[in-house]
Structures are given as structure tokens and as C-alpha cells.
Amino acid sequence: MSFSEHVEQLALEKAKIMYSFMEDEVPTLFNRKKWKGKIIGWAVQDQDFRSRLLRFVDVLPTLKTDSAVYKLFQEYFSDVDAIPPDVRIPVDRLSRRTDLDRIIPVILKRALDSLAAQFIAGKTVADTLSTLHAFRKQGLAASLDIVGEEVLSDEEADHYVNRYLEVMNVLVPAARSWQEMPLLDTDDRGPIPRLDVSLKATSFYSQLDPVDWDGSILTTTKNLAPVFEAAREQGASVTIDMEQYYLKDITIEIFKALLLDHPDFEYPGIVLQTYLPETAADLTSLVDWARKHGRRFGVRLVKGAYWDYETVINPRKGWPIPVFLEKEKTDLHYEQMTKVVLDNIDLIRPAFASHNVRSLSYAMAVAEDAGLPKNALEFQMIFGMAEPVRKAVQKMGYRVRAYIPTGELIPGMAFLIRRLLENTFSESFLKRSFFDNTGMELVRSPQLDESFVQPPASVGFMNEPVTDFSRARNRSAMYDALATVEENLGNRYPLIIQDREVFTDETTFSVNPARPEQLVGRVSRATSGQARDAVDSAREAFVAWKKTSPQERADYLFRAAAEMRKRRFKLAALEIFEVGKTWKDADGDIAEAIDYLEYYGREMIRLGQTTMAGAYPGEENLYFYEPLGVGLVISPWNFPIAIPTGMVSAALVTGNTVIFKPSGLSSVCGWQLAEIFKTIGLPPGVLQFVPGPGNETGEYLVSHPEIDFVSFTGSREVGLHIVSVASKTEPGQKGVKRVIAEMGGKNAIIVDETADLDEAVKGVLDSALEYQGQKCSACSRVIVIDSVYGDFTARLQQAMNSLRIGPTDKPWNFFGPVVDQASAQRIQKYIETGIKEGNALLARPGPENGFFIGPHLFADLPLHSSLVKEEIFGPVLVLLRASSLDSALRMATDSQYALTGGVFSRSPQNIQKVIAGFDVGNLYINRKITGALVGRQPFGGFRMSGIGYKAGGPNYLIQFMHERSASENTLRKGFAPFL
Ligand code: NAD
């Protein structure tokens, strides 16, 4: 008999035994005689109810008052159809009572506590100790996990360190007094620790991000060191949990670094997820590493708990889905990994964490085939799930360890939701086994069902994926680009007039704002004579360019996009030096630039078709667009490649010729854009590069009579000035200039009492401080409802305080300089006003050299304060307190600007109210308010935030063209051609 036949036969035998031991017992969660089973049963059958239930359970523990609980209950389950019949009957009975608003919250909270108690062992160390002891008496070993995930500040990370130290110093010694149980306390090699502790790397360092590979490993291992030391001293084992795929590689590296730092610690372990195809290679390389370093460690093999997350988040970023889409593939992979783990038992302490009878019996079979004793391996199951399976495995004489989360319910919510998702997932083994009663059918070896088809790749415009810096090759490409670009800084750059490169004597010095002594480049400054020449050339080039077909013009954009992709890392590196973006922000800017080229190219092909208006016999109504003529593009420095690429490409692809004047602070980036179009062979005169001071070169061009339109992005002050200058007509001028102006914002985020504070703090932090608050979309006011103001403020303040500040060519600095000395001084003035008028909750300085201003947080300012009213364009955030959503909305909309806004809320009614009442160009719900994507969140505001259609949206190109129609009477002598 071959190995596989033998193992198959053994696995079947084991499964039969296991089922016989289960004796029709049903796990609590699937017992339809009990309320939990009924609810889970309904959630399994009804997707709509499932998502309402999960969302409601998610928000429930945060609600502070009974009235809030009752309100939310009504919002989520107001329509009768949303309530399962089993639940509806008691609710109907209840509804005859008049005190529902009092009773329902009590019932719901009790239900939630009971649900949480099903999965979370206790809030305090003392509670947990008694649960552990009770488990021990049932013959179960334990792995303890303190619930909570990503932390947002150093304080929150310290909190986890202390909680874990408490476990090590209180629980582990207490466990020593337990009565000896050989199956639990020894394996085939001798005694093993009585308690295992599971932890997540992200709970130990708030800035953990693979983009800062070395720094993240260093700090996380440093923060984890006391826990490892205590585990070694007290005699516990420690298992590092695996989280999202993005963190997988760095988690493995952190694990290895910990092993090297703690050579005497015998019981480290790591979790590997078999829903990732990559795990096969990871396991092999971990085995090699163990052999090379002479270390033995634990591997807990799991299927993986973030499947829903991975299948949503990765496509959203344009990244491949890293998990198997078919459950059976994961199961099969689990078996393959089981074999590898057991084949290397000299290096690996194997733990199989699953509730799947087939997976468990397969592991037993492989071990038995290899002649391993039962105590050489262990099985792990989650507290509160699959009790019959767990008892059966125990009866078969194997060590079973329960995974026991402990802690508060709010931080435990993510864990609870994952468990509920798992139990209501249609493919879950437990659900199929105990809900559908499929039983032994599921014990066959996993079959790959070929009828599962991957969704077809979507056609048409797709956003350019941002770079995945968890990949070593991308990090090293970025380091290489930074080195190359830095070596070549300080060059001189010409104007481009027609096809000539023109160097001028006068130049603008562009410097690195993080190290002002570093010259990025010297860029020529156009005189008015040169600007005039450019206008003449543009006028001349327009004649032919206008006649070039839309498809051909679009092709130039597509070629420019391809060229940008080739230079992607170097362009991003240049932004880092010239304007102080972080790695991710700079990379995002290039991705956005590519998006504009791809999107506007496609849009022009769509709009370039001549269409017919109406369909009446005897007339033909042609409707088509034509370019405006010669355009002037004036861009800001804060998205130094994306914004000018958007404005320039839109103007070009619609058939206009363009004079491009970049901001003096980002002229070297501007040059790159002009040079890319030159490289791809855009005809001479179609795009000309005319940098120079705004109030000289810019102003001269705006007032030039041969300019047909101005496309401007920048401050309100300059925008309004341009509108007024452009409105004056010069003698001989043929038309009225069109001005498209995208201007500033004073953007607010509302945080209501139902908000998920983890998300809200992170969302506000990113919105306010990414790129040092120098995004037009940045959050500069956060309006928080009274009841959560204290908690929110404390966490936000700590999170702002934990950001690392410094030159952003170093990926560990997530916060860089502001763009120049003038900006720093202007922001400093606001800070001084804030200190006088309000309360500075945080005022961080930056490094001495460079134009650094650290994050600032102000509270208690009068509503008329300039900090509340004016665009600051820097890292200064104002906190406002509101007593109700209505009052928060009044504050939010009390602004001359209407660019972006946001709300964090889990109340469907509040969200509707904010959508209706918060009138800004781009409103974001439960996410950060920056980072609009071309085609998905067309961007732009109104009131003093701008005039014109949204960038990256379906109407944007139209404003660069005239609409024309030609109507022909086709009736001649009573005869008309057939339509
Ligand atoms: P800015 O207004 O100072 O400069 C913008 C451009 O205008 C620069 O190229 C500058 O040289 C030029 N300019 C200055 N004076 C001029 C004049 N008299 N005539 C012609 N051109 C002149 O803005 P900035 O500091 O570069 O950018 C920051 C501002 O841009 C912020 O207010 C921000 O909100 C806004 N912004 C808006 C958007 C949006 O999409 N709404 C996007 C990015 C930035």
C-alpha cells in the first residue's frame, strides 16, 4: 500500500472514531434549541441578516446609554423582515409592552455578554485564572491571548507589554501549583510549559509597517523582549500569531530576530496560514533556518482567519488576492503542510489548530504512519467553538490546547466578529457538519472543484496599484532610486519652448526642505519675452494638434503612462527630495499621475465620437466637441507630479496646446513631466515648459490675450486673483478666457458616539497628518460628540505624539518637513495664535535643521478663531466639541470652503443625515478623507474651494472643449434619406 493510500485509510478510521465519540452532541453555537444557535442559524441562511447582525454586534459594546442601544437596534432591524421568525415571536410579544426602550437594551446587552463569554474567557487576570483552572480540570491545555490588534500609539503598545507581563508574572506562576497531568505537561521529549501565550506583533509597535523594514523589526523585537524574557524565566511558551498577509513576511522576520536575541528561550512558536499558497515556501525556509541555527520551535498550522479581509482589501489596492479562493484548496494545502511539519519534527513542535474532523484525522494518520507517539503533537481549538470535536480528540488520547482570548469586549470585537464570520460562513466545516448535518461526507480527502471560476478580470480603466513595500524587491528599488537621484541632484534645468531647451541666467533654486543646504536643482525662469514666444509657438502648433484624432492624442497619454511606470521609483524619489513626501505618499502621487493619463486617454476616446442629438426624419443633428485653443496650466507643489499631469494631460488630450508653469517649489518635478512628454515624441509646441515666479511669469501669461483658458490648482487667494485678471479682456482678444480653478479647503471630520474609535483615531490621524497636513483634502477640524470626546482626544493625542519625525528619505520617518521657510513661518503664526486663544493639547517641535513643524493639536478655541476658519495647510489640527450631530453638522458646514469632509459613525440614520447635510465636494464615510482615486472618487469642491468639474471624473474633460452642434435639414424636394 502506498503512503497516501495508507494515510487515507488511517484518516478515515480516525474520523469514524471521532464521530462515534461525538455521539450526536452539537456545539453550543449550532444548537438550534438555544437562542444562540437560532441566531447563528438565521445568519447562515440569510445574508442580509448576517451582515446586519455582524454590524450591530460590532457597534453594540461601544454604546454608552440604553437609549443609544435602543435607537441603533431600531435602525438596524426596523423592518420586520430583518428579524428572524424565531426571534420575532418574543419580540412581538414584547412589543405589547410600553417600556420596550428599557427592556430591549437590557436583553441585548445580556445577549452580547453571553455571546462574548462564549469566546472571551474573562476581563481580568483573576477571571481568566479561574477559567484556565476550570479548563485544566477538563483535561485541556491553554494558550492565552490578550484581545486587541493594531495599536495606535506608544502608550497603547506599553499597555500590551504590561498586560502580557502580568500574565507571565501572575498566571504562569499560579499554573505551577496545578496538579501534574502528564498528557498536558509533557510531550515525547519531556516536560513542556503549562501555559502558552499567543500575541500579535502589531500590538507591540504602533508604527510597525514593512515600508520601514529594519526599524519595524528592531523596535518590535525590542518591545517584545521583556515578554520573551519573562516567559523564559517563568516557564511559558510564546506563539506569535499571524495577521494580515501584508504583515506576513515581516512577522516571520520578527520571529527569527526574537529567536536570535533570545538563544536560551526554548519555547517560541509561530502561526502559519494554509490559505496562503506562499506558506509552502515559508515553511520550507523556516525549516532550513531552524536547521542552520540549531533551533527548534513551535508551528501552529491554521487555515487563516482574515479571508474576507484579504479578498476585499487587496483587489481594492489593485494587488493580487494572496489567499486561495476555494476552500478545498486551503484544506488540501493544510494536509500538505501537515506532512512537512511532521516530517521535520526534529525541528518543529507541531500544533494543528483546526475544527475540521478531516484535517485533524489526517494529521493523526500521518503521525501514526510515521510512528510518532500521540503526545508528540497537539491539537488546538478555539475556546467556545466545536466542543464535541474537542472532546472527541481528547478521548482519543491527544493533547488539546484551547485558544483562550481574554480582555475587554471592545478591543475583542475584531476577534468576536472573526468567530461569527467563521461560524456563519457557508463553506465552514463546522457549519456544514453541524448545521447542514453533512457528517462523514466531509471526511473524504479535499477535492478541487473545477467549477469554481475566478472572477473575470475587469476591462476598461483600472487604478494603477500602489507599490507594495512589504516586498523586498520594491524596497530595494526605492533605495536604489533614492541613491541615484541624490547623486544627480543640483542640475540646471531649461525651459522648453517649441522644441528648444532654453537655459536662462536667472534661475529658481529648489532645495530639499528636510536639508535646505541640499540643492535639488536650479530651474530656468522664463522672461516675459520667452513666455510670449511660447504662446506664439502654442498658437502655431494648435492648428495641426487640433486635427489630430482623439485616439492618436490618447495614445500619447498612454505612452507617457508607460514611460512613467518605467521611471516610477526615480520620480517618487525626486518628490521625496524636492517636497518632503514620505515613501508611500510619493509613490501614491506617481500612481495617481499614471491614473490621470490612462483615465483621460480613455475618456477622450469616448467623448471624441460624434453623436446624433434626437432622431427625427428630415434632419440630422450632429453633436461634437472641439478644443478651446491655447491653455495655461498653473500647478501647486503639493502633488508635484500628479496634479500637473492631470491638468496637462486633460488639456492636451482634448486637442489644446499647453503652456505649463509649475510651482517654483516643485519645478524639478515639473521638468520631469515635460521631459516625459518630450521623450515620447509629442510634437513641438504642443506642450511647453515655462517655469517662473507666479506673480511675474504666471501673471503675465494669465493676462496674455492669446491664452484661451487657464487651468489652475492652488490657493484661494491666487485662484481668485487669476479669475479676476483673466476676466479682463485686452484689445483684439477674441474670446472670454475660461478659468478652471481648484482651490483650498477647511475640511472637517465628524466623530459621533457610535464611531469605531480605532478607525476614527487612525482615520483622523492620517487625514490630518499625512504629508504634514499639506493636502488640500487634509482634515483640519475634527468635531467630536461629547460622549466620546474624552476617549477620542486622549487616543488621538497619543497617536500624534508617537509619529516619528525627520527627513522622509528614511522610511522610518512617517512625518517630514513642511515645504519651505515661508510655509513654516506662516504655520508658526497660527500656532502662536492657537496658544493664545485656546489650549494646545499637543505641540511637538521638529528637528532643528530643515523646515520642520511637528504635529499640533488645539482644543477650546473660539469658533471665530482664525485656526477654526482659515486654511492653515500644515500639521495643525483643531478639535471641536459638539453636543449633538445637528450641532456638529452646523459647525462642519460653517465654512466658505466645501472641499472634503468625513464622518465616523455606525448609525445608518446618522450616516444618511450627514450625506444629506454635509455639503462638500467629497464626503467620506468611515475612512480617511484624503487619497481620492481617479475614476472612483472624482475630486473637487465648490464655494471657495473651486470652480469646474471634478478631476478624475466623467465631466472633467468637457470643460477643456467647446460643444458644437451642426443641424442639417436633409429634406430636399420632399425627399429625405432614411434615418
Ligand atoms: P499657490 O496658490 O501659492 O500657488 C499655486 C500656483 O500658482 C503656483 O504655480 C504659483 O507659482 C502660481 N501663482 C502664484 N501667484 C500667481 C499669480 N499672481 N498669477 C499666476 N500664477 C500664480 O498654492 P500652493 O502653495 O502651490 O498650493 C497650496 C494650495 O493649493 C492650498 O491652498 C491647497 O488647498 C491648494 N490645492 C488645491 C487642490 C484642489 O484640488 N482643490 C489641490 C492641491 C492644492
224-265 pLDDT per residue, tens: 999 999 999 999 999 999 999 999 999 999 999 999 999 999
What pLDDT score does 552 carry?
98
Global pTM reads 0.95
* Count, residues in the chain: 979
Q: What average pLDDT does the chain have? A: 93
What pLDDT score does 84 carry?
67
Rounded to whole angstroms, how far apart are CA atoms 79 and 87? Answer: 13
- Centroid of ligand 1 to alpha carbon of 940 (angstroms): 14
The closest of 741, 745, 763, 694 to 873, measured between CA atoms, is 745
pLDDT-above-90 percentage for the chain: 79
What pLDDT score does 45 carry?
80
Rounded to whole angstroms, how far apart are CA atoms 289 and 273? Answer: 19
Rounded to whole angstroms, how far apart are CA atoms 430 and 382? Answer: 12
**Residue 376 φ/ψ, nearest 5 degrees:** -75, -20
Q: Poorest-confidence range of 452-456, 685-689, 780-784, 960-964?
A: 452-456
341 compared with 121, residue with greater pLDDT: 341
Q: Which atom of ligand 1 is nearest to 951's Cα? A: 40
468 compared with 422, residue with greater pLDDT: 468
Q: Whose CA is nearest to atom 16 of ligand 1?
A: 694
Read off the pLDDT of residues 625-677 as tens digits, 9 standing for 90 and up: 999 999 999 999 999 999 999 999 999 999 999 999 999 999 999 999 999 99
Read off the pLDDT of residues 67-106 as tens digits, 9 standing for 90 and up: 999 999 999 987 756 566 666 666 666 666 667 788 888 8
DSSP single-letter state for residue 62: G
pLDDT at 451 over 80: no
What pLDDT score does 487 carry?
98
Q: Poorest-confidence range of 28-32, 212-216, 723-727?
A: 28-32
pLDDT-above-70 percentage for the chain: 94
Cβ of 722 closer than 6 Å to ligand 1, yes or no, is yes
pLDDT at 385 over 90: no
Q: Poorest-confidence range of 114-123, 325-334, 621-630, 695-704?
A: 114-123
- Strand ordering across the sheet containing 687-689: 500-502, 495-497, 687-689, 657-661, 630-634, 709-713, 738-742, 946-947
What pLDDT score does 97 carry?
66
Burial of 260 (0-12, 13-18, 19+ CB in 10 A): exposed
Read off the pLDDT of residues 589-608 as tens digits, 9 standing for 90 and up: 999 999 999 999 999 999 99
Cβ of 636 closer than 6 Å to ligand 1, yes or no, is yes
pLDDT at 328 over 60: yes
Rounded to whole angstroms, how far apart are CA atoms 313 and 686? Answer: 41
Integer angstrom CA distances of residue 347 from 66, 268, 294, 376, 760: 54, 12, 8, 12, 44
- Centroid of ligand 1 to alpha carbon of 602 (angstroms): 28
Q: Which residues contact 310 (CB under 8 A, 6 or more apart)?
A: 244, 245, 275, 321, 322, 323
pLDDT at 455 over 60: no
Cβ of 664 closer than 6 Å to ligand 1, yes or no, is yes
Cβ of 634 closer than 6 Å to ligand 1, yes or no, is yes
Cβ of 774 closer than 6 Å to ligand 1, yes or no, is no
Rounded to whole angstroms, how far apart are CA atoms 768 and 311? Answer: 29
- Centroid of ligand 1 to alpha carbon of 666 (angstroms): 12
Cβ of 818 closer than 6 Å to ligand 1, yes or no, is no
37 compared with 376, residue with greater pLDDT: 376
Cβ of 598 closer than 6 Å to ligand 1, yes or no, is no
Q: Which atom of ligand 1 is nearest to 721's Cα? A: 18
Q: Which atom of ligand 1 is nearest to 744's Cα? A: 34
- Centroid of ligand 1 to alpha carbon of 526 (angstroms): 18
- Centroid of ligand 1 to alpha carbon of 674 (angstroms): 19
Phi/psi-derived region of residue 148, left when phi > 0, alpha when psi is between -120 and 50, beta in every other case: left
Burial of 308 (0-12, 13-18, 19+ CB in 10 A): middle
pLDDT at 428 over 80: no
Cβ of 526 closer than 6 Å to ligand 1, yes or no, is no
Read off the pLDDT of residues 801-860 as tens digits, 9 standing for 90 and up: 999 999 999 999 999 999 999 999 999 999 999 999 999 999 999 999 999 999 999 999
Cβ–Cβ under 8 Å, residues 372 and 342: yes
| 748-763 mean pLDDT | 97
27 compared with 376, residue with greater pLDDT: 376
DSSP single-letter state for residue 972: B
Q: Which atom of ligand 1 is nearest to 637's Cα? A: 26
Read off the pLDDT of residues 475-504 as tens digits, 9 standing for 90 and up: 999 999 999 999 999 999 999 999 999 999
- Centroid of ligand 1 to alpha carbon of 901 (angstroms): 21
Confidence grade of residue 732 (pLDDT, cut at 50, 70, 90): confident
Confidence grade of residue 31 (pLDDT, cut at 50, 70, 90): confident
What pLDDT score does 395 carry?
95
- Centroid of ligand 1 to alpha carbon of 634 (angstroms): 8
Q: Which atom of ligand 1 is nearest to 946's Cα? A: 41
pLDDT at 340 over 50: yes
What pLDDT score does 88 carry?
66
| 737-755 mean pLDDT | 97
Q: Whose CA is nearest to atom 40 of ligand 1?
A: 742
User: Given 3-state DSSP classes, what are the helix, strand and coil percentages for the chain, each rounded to the nearest 5?
Assistant: 50, 15, 30
Residues with catalytic roles: 742, 776
What pLDDT score does 441 carry?
64
